[in-house]
Structure 1
């Protein structure tokens, strides 16, 4: 949830309509209600950029984004 909160702050700072990218949803697991977010592709990317670097998927995503960005710059 920390990465989601950071991603929402980034979106707000950028002027995004947060509701389009971060939609709260509630699920029932056993006898508990759990709050989660349904994310757009952009929202998901922002979460991955701000997520825990201990997760290999986060590191892989960050490197992939930077490599793609650099390829565009050099063409």
Structure 2
């Protein structure tokens, strides 16, 4: 295995400015996301508002995935079919 000599990386002023601009963008996106989440929870439409009522949370999930359960009949004929002796 060949060993290489360590490389010297130089940090330039342009790189520092780019890093600072990316950090500012991330902070503004984070603040916008927090503001949106705050508005949703105050109206009771956010995820925390629905977590208090498990039935509405389950209903929201079922609506999202398109699950519509059919009621099951309770008589024995429907459970085992029509087997007459």
The TM-score, its normalising length taken from structure 1, stands at 0.25
Greater relative contact order structure (CA < 8 Å, 6+ sep): 1
